[in-house]
Structure 1
Amino acid sequence: MKRTYLYLIAAGFLAFACGGKPTETTTEVEEVTVQEPEWISLFDGQSFNGWSKYGGGEVGKAWKIQDGAIYLDAKNKANWQEGDGGDIVTNEEFENYHLQVEWKIAPNGNSGIIFFVHEAPEFGYPWMTGPEMQVLDNDGHPDAKIVSHRAGDLYDLIVSAEETVKPVGEWNLAEIIAKEGNLELHLNGVMVVSTTMWTPEWEALVAKSKFKDMPGFGKYKKGKIALQDHGDEVWFRNIRIKKL
Structure 2
Amino acid sequence: MNTSRVLLLAIVGCGLFLTGCQSSEKKDENHKEEKVEENIPDNTLTEAEKEDGWKLLFNGEDPEEHWRGYCKDGFPEKGWTVENSAIKVIGSGAGEAGHGGDIISKKKYRNFELKLEWKVEKGGNSGIFYLAEEQCGEEGEPIWKSAPEMQILDNENHPDARLGENGNRQAGALYDMIPAEPQNANTHGEWNEVRILVYQGTVVHFQNGEKVLEYHLWTDDWKEMVANSKFDDFEGFTDVAKEGYIGLQDHGNDVWFRNIKVKEMTN
Q: TM-score range by the shorter chain?
A: 0.7 to 0.9
What corresponds to 2:263 in structure 1? 242
**Mind listing any 5+ residue stretches in structure 1 that lack a counterpart?**
1-34
1:68 aligns with 2:85: yes
Amino acid at match of 1:55: C
SS at match of 2:156: coil
Q: Return 36-45 or 196-205, whichever deviates more.
A: 36-45
Structure 1's 138 and 84: CA in aligned 2 closer, same or farther, altered over 3 A? closer
What corresponds to 1:181 in structure 2? 201
What corresponds to 1:42 in structure 2? 57
1:56 aligns with 2:76: no
SS at match of 2:184: coil
What corresponds to 1:97 in structure 2? 112
TM-score normalized by structure 1? Answer: 0.80
Choose between structure 1 and 2: higher strand proportion: 1
Matched length? 206
Identity of aligned residues (%): 40
What corresponds to 1:7 in structure 2? none
What corresponds to 1:160 in structure 2? 180
SS at match of 1:212: coil
What corresponds to 1:190 in structure 2? 210
**Mind listing any 5+ residue stretches in structure 2 that lack a counterpart?**
1-49
SS at match of 2:160: helix
* Contact kept in structure 1, 2:99 and 2:252, CA below 8 Å: no
Structure 1's 83 and 193: CA in aligned 2 closer, same or farther, altered over 3 A? closer
* Separation in 1, partners of 2:220, 2:80: 38
TM-score normalized by structure 2? Answer: 0.74
Choose between structure 1 and 2: higher helix proportion: 2
CA offset digits 1:173-196 (Å, max 9, x no partner): 111001011110000010001111
Map 1:1-244 onto structure 2 (within 5 A). Answer: 37-48=52-63, 49-60=65-76, 61-74=78-91, 77=93, 84-121=99-136, 122-146=139-163, 147=165, 148-218=168-238, 219-244=240-265
* Contact kept in structure 1, 2:135 and 2:143, CA below 8 Å: no
CA offset digits 1:161-209 (Å, max 9, x no partner): 2111012111001110010111100000100011111111101100110
RMSD (Å), alpha carbons: 1.8
